[in-house]
Amino acid sequence: MVKSSKKGGSKRAFKMYIDGKWVDSEGGETFDLTSPASGEVLGTFPKGTREDARRAVEVAVEAQDDVRSMPIQERCRLGARVAEEVRRFVKEYAVDCSLEHGKPLKESIVEVEDVIPNLLWQVEDLKRWDAPVQEGYSKPDVVYMSLHEPLGTVAVITPWNFPWVLPSEFVVQAFLAGNSVVWKPASNTPVSAVHLMESVDRAGVPPGFINMVTGPGGEVGTTLVEHPLVDGIGFTGETTTGLDIAKRAGLKKLTLELGGLGPLIIMDDAKIEPAVEDIMFGCFTNTGHCCVANERVFVHEKIHDRLIRVLTERTRKMKVGFPLDADVDMGPVNNRPTLKKIEENVSDAVDKGAKVVAGGKRIPGMPTDLYYAPTVVDGVTPEMDFNSVETFGPVAPVFEVSSLDEAIEMANAPRYGLSMAIHTSNLRVAMEAAKRLKSGQICINEPVYSWDYMNPWGGFRNSGLGRIAGRWTLDAFSEVKTVMINVGRSPWPS
Ligand code: NDP
């Protein structure tokens, strides 16, 4: 939904944030952001260049020593202030989030509100961020201390699907760990990015500590990734982009939160109603634009027909509409490339023999042509694209399985491992699955789309590198330094 423009001429003119100032791009170029929900231009943004990215890094490097030496108590105070500044404008920020993203207002409110406990949790973890002290073994006269050391300057690059929660997990928390930060938000959701930076600014975070450059990933993003004075990168986005970043970054410390193909296994002893509830939550929340979306549903053959009947009925009753209208369950798809991928995955499955039992098409008569009906596809098999290409849209692709072994093999096969789930009444079966599924998170009788502030978040295999959330983010954006002190040998009787 992003169109380049030299003139701008949109409703609101936004700026980027470098060295504590709201600035335009050095070249003056801008881009427009059009709402996927209404089709209206929401605002004009600076189209940052390589030069803008380099300038932001220079400012951040200059600020490094000041961030590092800021007492932890003061960093905690500022982190909590940012949370309070977000709290003051939850409703306004949520409306903008719905208009630029397309998610229903109630989901945007949950997302913006979620930033507050998330940051406060992080602040509490910073207060208790301990590290070992140990007496020497091969050197008995030495005591070792481990100290947390900030990386220096961290580049943060984030996607559009959760424009509040994902950036807040990285941007403010990298600062809490003692780093200066340069953030490049997604070009599809820059309004929320500006609002987060407004909160940082109002909270009184000193100039240069956290900077934000809008503009294309291929230019601003790659410049940050390759910059020799950037020490660490926090990236959330597609696996292909993550691979590109890993190739360009050299030996910078990388935290990569990448794509998933989240499977939910439903065994024959599972309860149908909660299973359907969790499928729908995992497939249709946020229009299916979730790294932890329920991308594949593996249903035991003994309950398959019953489950499909309930799932289809419930899906057909969902209300799709303009995200600010009351009682809307789902809004539009955020952007055209994602819509194309959704349509391609559905038609590939149909061409290979699967059947659309609910939805499967765009909804006519809506403000834009991005509104796609919540969809259930039955009879999906492993050779279909649903099994290898992240759909990232409101589709429940249902595979029939005959055993736990078969389901686990299919779940692990595509080599993604972010979040996986199983529904069963048998604890032994659940724990066997938990051990054999190769994934950063396993959810038992919970949706694939599950998350909490304190759990280490991150993927196995193609789903990423490293862990974030709670103290894990502090660890991700720091190094451990060992300091040894010779305290003198105590006499030991021979
Ligand atoms: P992309 O990888 O396309 O973009 C993510 C960010 O990277 C954007 O800011 C983008 O800029 C920027 N970018 C694009 N190309 C480059 C490059 N070569 N170098 C540096 N930066 C670049 O992801 P999407 O925005 O489409 O997000 C969806 C993906 O994110 C899905 O695969 C989803 O699973 C994953 N995701 C993973 C999560 C996790 O926790 N593991 C959580 C949420 C999402 P621009 O917008 O200007 O193109």
The residue with tokens 């929900």 is 37
- Verify whether ligand 1 is closer than 6 Å to residue 338 (CB atom): no
Residue 375 backbone phi and psi in degrees, to 5: -125, 140
Distances (CA, A) of 366 to 37, 105, 332, 339, 419: 9, 17, 9, 15, 33
User: Known catalytic residue: 84?
Assistant: no
Q: Is the CB of 216 under 6 A from ligand 1?
A: yes
Q: Is 257 a catalytic residue?
A: yes
Closest alpha carbon to 298 in 258, 265, 346, 333: 265
pLDDT score of 11: 63
Ligand 1 midpoint to CA 28 (Å): 25
**CATH 3.40.605.10 in the chain, residues?**
7-258+463-480
d(C-alpha 191, C-alpha 189), whole Å: 6
Nearest to residue 304, comparing CAs of 382, 400, 392? 400
Spatial neighbors of 284 by CB under 8 A, at least 6 apart, are 315, 318, 329, 330, 374, 394, 396
Most distant pair of Cα atoms in the chain: their distance? 92
Q: pTM score, two decimals?
A: 0.96
CA distance 148 to 285: 38
Closest Cα to atom 8 of ligand 1: 186
For strand 142-150 and strand 478-486, is the pairing parallel, antiparallel, or unpaired? antiparallel
Q: Which of 238, 292, 342 to mutate to test the pocket of ligand 1 (most atoms within 8 A of CB)?
A: 238
Residue entry with tokens 């929660």? 165
157 within ligand 1 shell (Cβ under 6 A): yes
Listed in order, the ranges of the chain carrying CATH 3.40.309.10 are 263-444
Asked if residue 377 has its Cβ within 6 Å of ligand 1, the reply is no
Whether 160 is in the pocket of ligand 1, judged by its Cβ within 6 Å, is yes
- Which is nearest to 389 in space by CA: 238, 244, 286? 238
| Span from the CA of 185 to the centroid of ligand 1 (angstroms) | 9
Q: How far away, in angstroms, is 220 Cα from ligand 1 center?
A: 13
Ligand 1 atom closest to the Cα of residue 241 is 2
Alpha helices in 129-238 (DSSP H): 165-176, 190-203, 222-226
CATH number assigned to the domain with residue range 263-444, chosen from the 4 options 3.40.309.10, 3.30.390.50, 3.40.50.300, 1.10.3720.10 = 3.40.309.10
Rounded Cα gap, residues 188 and 210, in angstroms: 21
pLDDT tens, position by position, for the chain (494 residues)?
A: 444 333 333 469 999 999 999 999 999 999 999 999 999 999 999 999 999 999 999 999 999 999 999 999 999 999 999 999 999 999 999 999 999 999 999 999 999 999 999 999 999 999 999 999 999 999 989 999 999 999 999 999 999 999 999 999 899 999 999 999 999 999 999 999 999 999 999 999 999 999 999 999 999 999 999 999 999 999 999 999 999 999 999 999 999 999 999 999 999 999 999 999 999 999 999 999 999 999 999 999 999 999 999 999 999 999 999 999 999 999 999 999 999 999 999 999 999 999 999 999 999 999 999 999 999 999 999 999 999 999 999 999 999 999 999 999 999 999 999 999 999 999 999 999 999 999 999 999 999 999 898 899 999 999 999 999 989 999 999 999 999 999 987 667 76
Per-residue buried b or exposed e for 316-346, using 16+ beta carbons within 10 Å of the residue's own CB: eebebbbbbeeebbbbbbbbeebbebbbebb
Residue ID of nearest Cα to ligand 1 atom 42:
291
DSSP 8-class letter at 468: B
Contact 411, 265 (CB under 8 A): yes
Report yes or no: 234 and 210 within 8 Å, Cβ to Cβ.
Answer: no
Q: If you take atom 15 of ligand 1, which residue's CA is the nearest one?
A: 217
Give the pLDDT of residue 480: 97
Distance 368 CA to ligand 1 centre (A): 24
Residue 305 three-state SS: helix
Q: Is the CB of 184 under 6 A from ligand 1?
A: yes
**DSSP codes, 84-101:** HHHHHTHHHHHHHHHHHH
Q: In angstroms, what is the C-alpha Rg of the chain?
A: 24
User: Would you call 322 helix, strand, or coil by DSSP?
Assistant: coil
Give the strand pairing for 30-34 and 2-5: antiparallel
| Residue 258 alpha carbon to ligand 1 centre in Å | 8
- The pLDDT value recorded for residue 54 is 98
Q: Which helix (H) or strand (E) holds 77?
A: helix 72-88
Cβ contact 184:237 at 8 Å: no
State which of 1, 248, 291 you would mutate to test the pocket of ligand 1, scoring each by most atoms of that ligand within 8 A of its C-beta: 291
Give phi and psi for 11, each to the nearest 5: -60, -50
Ligand 1 and 166: CB distance under 6 A = yes
CB 160 within 8 A of CB 107: no
322: CA distance to ligand 1 center in Å? 25
Question: What is the Å distance from ligand 1's center to 170 Cα?
Answer: 14
Q: Note the CATH number of domain 7-258+463-480.
A: 3.40.605.10
* Ligand 1 atom with minimal separation from the 390 CA: 32
Q: What is the pLDDT of residue 494?
A: 64
* Residue nearest (by alpha carbon) to ligand 1 atom 10: 217
